[in-house]
């Protein structure tokens, strides 16, 4: 609508009401239709969002406008039909028991949900709607979960305490109380991240405040190749440490994410992305300050580094406001390529050639090669839960306020074309 009624000082740009997936709504007349008309309210999504109301002279005219608008939206959605969406769970997780995290196990055949009221497991092979997720662990306020299948270990962040369970604790038919007892790893933990660095499986536990962050790097005990699950169970019975200390370092600022590179860690913090050598614990900025083409990052205030993706030897850096490429030396790569996000994403996922940015009210999908907008998927209280090469899992609220868990599969659609 800015093309019709431009706002002072703002360049013309199309309304997101015409972006695929966005919605136009019809508001009830707040005034006498005879004096002002029948309203249609257009909402522009994003951090520069606003609403504008136009008036039709008659109710029939308004209905015709809505038919034309919905027809154009349907055409745009069909033109950008790049994924297959599947609902995995609905009508089960209520407003009092939100899904905060999720991880697939058994090759994606089962899903493990971390919620406000416990940990649940569902089997994706069981398609009957009457079969609901089953609670297997009684832990509250679960904000993160991960499974180290190599070590038969479940990691859970509950009430800011990182604990572990043997993976048998997820068995819905096993009620042994012993294996369902958590083993405390570390308290006062804001978040953790598991990955591979220096050829080792590692777990980073981050204790962060506004002034500093302490990152404790742990390494799982290494059971032998045979009978890993049995040995892991004995390890929990006997009290052997599930994770042993490997390294520990300190960053004098608040940290919000950890990413595993081949031989280093990259920590997203208030100063940007910091690269830490796990061999020397030396820390340096990922961006080279000598590159003046990166000054736009330094000049922008209150931006938060969220996510890193490695593509063809380059790094795609994703912040709350924008994304861009750098090379391994921290210099700007693809100088003509940059995304300025419509919203303020809280998480990202890559399904090449698409990059998805998740914010609470919509998912913005762009082409990672051209940076062009491809699709907008609107919803309420959107949360990205898990990303893999095959699919992206996320949660959102339905009209009743209950959580729906859905999958976006880009692979199947691309192979059908």
Smallest CA-to-CA distance from 264 within 242, 286, 297 is with 286
CATH architecture of structural domain 139-286: 7 Propeller (2.130)
Q: What is the pLDDT of residue 114?
A: 97
**29 three-state secondary structure:** coil
**Dihedral angle computed from the Cα positions of residues 240, 242, 248 and 254, in that order, rounded to the nearest 10 degrees:** -140
Under 8 Å CB-to-CB from 75, ≥6 apart: which residues? none
Percent of the chain topping pLDDT 70 = 84
Q: What is the pLDDT of residue 389?
A: 83
Six token digits for residue 407: 């999958």
Q: Are 64 and 387 a contacting pair, CB within 8 Å?
A: no
Determine the Cα–Cα distance for residues 320 and 305; give it in Å rounded to an integer: 7
pLDDT tens digits, 201-232: 999 999 999 899 999 999 998 764 444 555 55
Determine the Cα–Cα distance for residues 79 and 375; give it in Å rounded to an integer: 10
pLDDT tens digits, 310-336: 998 999 999 999 999 999 999 999 999
Q: What are phi and psi of 187, to 5 degrees?
A: -95, 175
Q: What is the DSSP letter of 36?
A: S
Determine the Cα–Cα distance for residues 367 and 389; give it in Å rounded to an integer: 16
pLDDT at 34 over 70: no
pLDDT tens digits, 65-87: 999 999 998 888 887 788 999 99
pLDDT tens digits, 133-160: 999 999 999 999 999 999 999 999 999 9
Which part of the chain has CATH 2.130.10.10? 139-286
Six token digits for residue 382: 């959107």
Apex CA 245: angle with CA 243 and CA 248, to 5°? 135
- Asked whether the whole model's pTM tops 0.85, one would answer no
6-10, 127-131, 263-267: which is most confident: 263-267
Q: What is the pLDDT of residue 278?
A: 94
**Residue found under tokens 């990166």:** 294
Q: Give the sheet arrangement for strand 142-148, strand by strand.
A: 142-148, 153-158, 161-166, 183-186
């Amino acid at each position: 609508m800015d093309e019709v009624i431009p706002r002072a000082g703002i360049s013309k740009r199309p309304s997101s009401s015409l972006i695929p997936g966005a919605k136009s709504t019809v508001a009830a007349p707040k005034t006498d239709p005879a004096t002002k008309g029948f309203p249609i309210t257009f909402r522009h999504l994003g951090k520069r969002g606003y609403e504008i109301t136009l008036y039709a002279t008659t109710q029939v005219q308004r209905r015709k406008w809505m038919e034309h608008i919905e027809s154009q939206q349907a055409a745009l959605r069909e033109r950008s039909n790049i994924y297959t969406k599947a609902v995995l769970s609905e009508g089960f997780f209520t407003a009092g028991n939100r899904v905060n995290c999720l991880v697939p196990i058994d090759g994606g055949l089962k899903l493990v949900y971390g919620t406000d009221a416990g940990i649940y497991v569902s089997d994706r092979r069981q398609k009957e709607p009457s079969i609901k997720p089953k609670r297997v662990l009684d832990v509250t306020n679960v904000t993160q979960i991960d499974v180290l299948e190599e070590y038969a270990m479940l990691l859970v962040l509950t009430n800011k305490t990182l604990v572990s369970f043997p993976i048998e604790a997820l068995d819905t038919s096993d009620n042994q109380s012993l294996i369902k007892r958590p083993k405390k790893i570390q308290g006062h933990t804001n978040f953790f991240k598991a990955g591979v660095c220096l050829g080792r499986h590692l777990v980073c536990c981050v204790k962060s405040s506004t002034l500093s962050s302490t990152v404790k790097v742990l390494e799982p005990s290494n059971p032998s190749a045979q009978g890993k699950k049995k040995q892991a169970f004995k390890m929990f019975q006997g009290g052997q440490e599930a994770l042993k200390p490997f390294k520990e370092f300190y960053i004098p600022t608040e940290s919000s994410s950890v990413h595993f590179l081949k031989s280093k860690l990259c920590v997203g913090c208030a100063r940007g992305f910091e690269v830490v050598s796990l061999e020397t614990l030396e820390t340096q900025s990922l961006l080279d300050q000598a590159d003046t083409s990166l000054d736009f990052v330094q000049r922008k205030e209150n931006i938060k580094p969220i996510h890193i993706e490695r593509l063809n030897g380059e790094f795609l850096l994703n912040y709350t406001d924008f994304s861009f490429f750098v090379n391994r030396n921290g210099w700007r790569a693809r100088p003509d390529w940059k995304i300025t996000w419509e919203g303020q994403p809280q998480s990202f996922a890559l399904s090449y050639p698409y990059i998805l940015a998740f914010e609470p009210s919509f998912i913005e999908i762009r082409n990672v090669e051209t940076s062009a907008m491809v699709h907008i998927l609107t919803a309420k209280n959107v949360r990205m839960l898990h990303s893999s090469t095959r699919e992206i899992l996320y949660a959102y609220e339905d009209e009743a306020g209950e959580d729906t868990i859905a999958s976006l599969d880009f692979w199947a659609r691309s192979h059908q074309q």
